[in-house]
């Protein structure tokens, strides 16, 4: 059964209620937490890159994200599936260079949410992910999984999934298995889609929850909450979303979370030409605690349904 998300905007500043809901459901959904104009401005920046690469339909509105099938359908499937981001590496590098893309992760409303949830100062992981999902067979839906196997560090990392533009169910989006965080770390198997790993789900009683998303909405969930992408049923347009991650500042972090996503560029290359210095290398001012990467947790085979 699939049901709608519970909006937690009404308890945004009530730490006890927010934490209770987060621990119970494993997710928090906040309708309109971010300024719509800031999100749509980032969307325009990303769509401009897509247009420059010929991915968008001539004569259509860039804001609609209508694709140019004649170009998209002949892109090498291996290139289009690069790192699960939905577009080839050369275009993704340009997205990673966007100051607007990195700045959105530091929006005061996001920091307000996580300060309330954690009860203290927040570390924003600089390894931000953009997913510009061209509607092709090369972009398989992301399978059900938990983020912890990919990021490690503290289990108290929360991912913020943000639709960059309106994302109705037909366009795809994200679905979470409410309450699955309470089962701890689950075994995985190889699968198609971003991350290439799928969580074994054996006779769970939890319910999948999803929504018709709008620009400005934020869906956040713990690193132990099982989630998956919804297939794009609109074969003529792309879907854009971003993943930002946050954790308590005083808990351990994996060093990889401080590096550019998929190593597509160096930080110096990403920062070149930025107008502001305020969020460049910001994490270096902190005395962070680091964890050691444990590859073994990515291949637990002992529990088979």
Model confidence over 247-272: pLDDT tens digits?
Answer: 999 999 999 999 999 999 999 999 99
Which residue segments constitute the domains of the chain, with CATH numbers given? 21-276 (2.60.120.620)
Please tell me the predicted confidence (pLDDT) of residue 202: 73
Question: Is the pLDDT higher at 61 or at 111?
Answer: 111
- Asked if residue 189 has pLDDT above 70, the reply is no
Which CA distances in Å does 266 have to 78, 93, 127, 260?
23, 10, 11, 7
Mean pLDDT of 33-54: 97
Please tell me the predicted confidence (pLDDT) of residue 60: 63
- Asked if residue 1 has pLDDT above 60, the reply is no
- By percentage, how much of the chain surpasses pLDDT 90? 78
The whole-model pTM stands at: 0.94
Please tell me the predicted confidence (pLDDT) of residue 156: 97
Task: Please answer whether residues 212 and 169 qualify as being in contact, where contact means their C-beta atoms are separated by less than 8 angstroms.
Answer: yes
* Integer Cα distance of 172 and 2 in angstroms: 14
Mean pLDDT of 167-189: 88
Which CA distances in Å does 218 have to 184, 189, 213?
24, 29, 9
Instruction: Kindly give, in sequence order, each residue whose CB lies less than 8 Å from that of residue 64, ignoring residues fewer than 6 positions away.
Output: 237
- Asked if residue 194 has pLDDT above 70, the reply is no
DSSP string for 183-242? G-S--EEE-SSTTSEEE---S---EEEE--B-TT-EEEEETTS-EEEEP---TTB-EEEE
Mean pLDDT of 172-189: 86
Please tell me the predicted confidence (pLDDT) of residue 7: 97
Q: At what angle do helices 36-52 and 89-96 cross, to 10 degrees?
A: 140
Which CA distances in Å does 54 have to 133, 209, 261?
15, 35, 24
The token pair that represents 123 in the structure block: 């570390």
Model confidence over 126-143: pLDDT tens digits?
Answer: 999 999 999 987 767 778
- Asked if residue 203 has pLDDT above 80, the reply is no
- Cite the DSSP H helix spans in the chain: 15-25, 36-52, 69-72, 77-80, 89-96, 99-103, 108-118, 148-151, 267-271
């Amino acid at each position: 059964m699939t049901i709608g998300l519970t909006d937690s905007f009404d308890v945004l500043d009530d730490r006890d209620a927010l934490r209770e809901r987060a621990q119970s459901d494993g997710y928090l959904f906040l309708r309109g937490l971010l300024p719509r104009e800031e999100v749509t401005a980032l969307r325009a920046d990303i769509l401009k890159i897509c247009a420059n690469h010929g991915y968008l339909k001539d004569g259509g509105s860039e804001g609609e994200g209508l694709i140019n099938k004649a170009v998209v359908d002949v892109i090498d499937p291996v290139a289009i599936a690069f790192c699960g981001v939905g577009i080839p590496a050369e275009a993704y590098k340009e997205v990673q260079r966007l100051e607007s893309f990195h700045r959105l992760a530091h929006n005061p409303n996001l920091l307000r949410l996580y300060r309330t949830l954690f009860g203290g100062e927040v570390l924003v992981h600089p390894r931000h992910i953009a997913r510009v999902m061209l509607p092709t067979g090369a972009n398989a839906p992301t399978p059900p999984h938990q983020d912890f196997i990919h990021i490690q560090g503290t289990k108290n990392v929360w991912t913020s999934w943000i639709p960059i533009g309106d994302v109705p169910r037909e366009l795809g989006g994200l679905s979470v298995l409410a309450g699955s965080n309470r089962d701890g770390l689950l075994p995985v198997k190889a699968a198609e889609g971003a991350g290439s790993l799928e969580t074994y789900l054996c006779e769970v009683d939890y319910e999948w929850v999803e929504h018709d998303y709008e620009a400005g909405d934020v869906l956040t969930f713990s690193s132990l909450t099982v989630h998956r992408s919804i297939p794009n049923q609109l074969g003529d347009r792309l879907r854009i979303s971003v993943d930002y991650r946050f954790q308590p500042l005083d808990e351990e972090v994996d060093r990889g979370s401080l590096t550019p996503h998929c190593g597509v560029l160096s930080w110096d290359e990403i920062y070149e030409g930025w107008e502001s210095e305020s969020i460049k290398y910001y994490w270096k001012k902190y005395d962070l605690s680091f964890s050691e990467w444990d590859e073994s947790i990515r291949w637990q085979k002992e529990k088979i349904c």
